[in-house]
């Protein structure tokens, strides 16, 4: 039997469901921890779970048109058993492989049947494969970032570790300090200061690195207050945060709309 979804991944998925439920209710929970979660009714939790499942089904392109439950299972098993019988495996190994494959076929069919009948699928550990769980989780990360949906602090920390560049870019667009989580962050030049570039009017963006920082951290970078740049770099190393290097014109244009005093040296190609 192929690897099933882990309890850790299941817990992460339910964190996303919690966060989406608060969005539906209109409650701001960004940068709070999952232990701080305010009271919320089962209605919003259920609706959040089903809404996110439907969004994933649509995104994944699962085709249930013309699907007939267990129709192809017999032929799949015959093909698989035929392949295994011809192998130079021990009898016990053959039994284990065929049993595991049978369980995979059954659980896959059950999930497809759920989608066919109810437009949903199960999040039970024994019914969701590890590969499907990872795909669903990656979809949720991207969907939440693209739609600016508030997330628990634990999700931020996990995503920062796994997808640092995407996370820092999202924090830049939201103007949230990557260190404190405070809003209204300022754009900090990291690889080269604005002065080293010759001033804001020479800042083209591409090739330079930036971070959104709260005022107390930004002033330290620019003016050496409280340990200055060295203290910042130590903190970034501790948190495993890499500054965002702008690589494309699209990224400059996106950030220029948010930080209007910056990137004055950028000239859009016609």
Torsion of Cα atoms, 79 then 81 then 82 then 84, to 10° = 120
Q: What is the pTM of this model?
A: 0.71
- pLDDT tens readout for residues 213-238: 999 898 877 655 555 778 889 999 99
Rounded distance, CA 203 to CA 211, Å? 15
Please list the residues that pair with 244 across neighbouring strands: 210
pLDDT tens digits, 196-206: 777 778 888 99
Domain limits, the chain: 7-144, 164-258
Backbone angles phi, psi at 190, to 5 degrees: -105, -55
d(Cα 84, Cα 80) in Å, to the nearest integer?
6
- Burial profile 23-43: b = 16 or more Cβ within 10 angstroms, e = fewer: bebebebbbbebeebeebeee
Q: What is the pLDDT of residue 78?
A: 85
């Amino acid at each position: 039997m192929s690897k099933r979804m882990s309890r850790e991944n299941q817990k992460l998925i339910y964190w996303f469901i919690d966060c989406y439920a608060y969005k539906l209710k209109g409650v701001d929970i960004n940068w709070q921890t999952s232990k701080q979660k305010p009271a919320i009714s089962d209605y919003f939790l259920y609706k959040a779970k089903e809404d996110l499942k439907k969004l994933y089904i649509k995104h994944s392109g699962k085709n249930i048109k013309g699907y007939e439950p267990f129709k192809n299972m017999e032929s799949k098993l015959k093909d698989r058993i035929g392949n295994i019988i011809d192998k130079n495996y021990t009898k016990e190994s053959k039994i284990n492989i065929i049993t595991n494959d049978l369980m995979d076929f059954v659980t896959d069919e059950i999930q497809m049947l759920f989608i066919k009948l109810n437009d949903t699928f199960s999040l039970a550990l024994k019914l969701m494969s590890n590969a499907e769980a990872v795909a669903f989780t990656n979809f949720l990360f991207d969907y939440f970032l693209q739609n600016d949906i508030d997330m628990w602090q634990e999700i931020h920390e996990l995503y920062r570790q796994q997808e640092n560049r995407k996370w820092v870019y999202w924090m830049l667009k939201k103007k949230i300090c990557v260190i404190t989580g405070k809003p209204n962050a300022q754009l900090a030049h990291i690889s080269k200061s604005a002065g080293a570039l010759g001033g804001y009017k020479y800042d083209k963006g591409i090739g330079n690195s930036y971070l959104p920082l709260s005022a107390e951290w930004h002033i330290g970078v620019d003016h050496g207050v409280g340990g200055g740049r060295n203290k910042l770099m130590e903190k970034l190393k501790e948190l495993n945060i890499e500054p965002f290097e702008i690589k494309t014109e699209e990224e400059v244009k996106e950030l220029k709309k948010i930080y209007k005093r910056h990137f004055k040296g950028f000239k859009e190609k016609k």
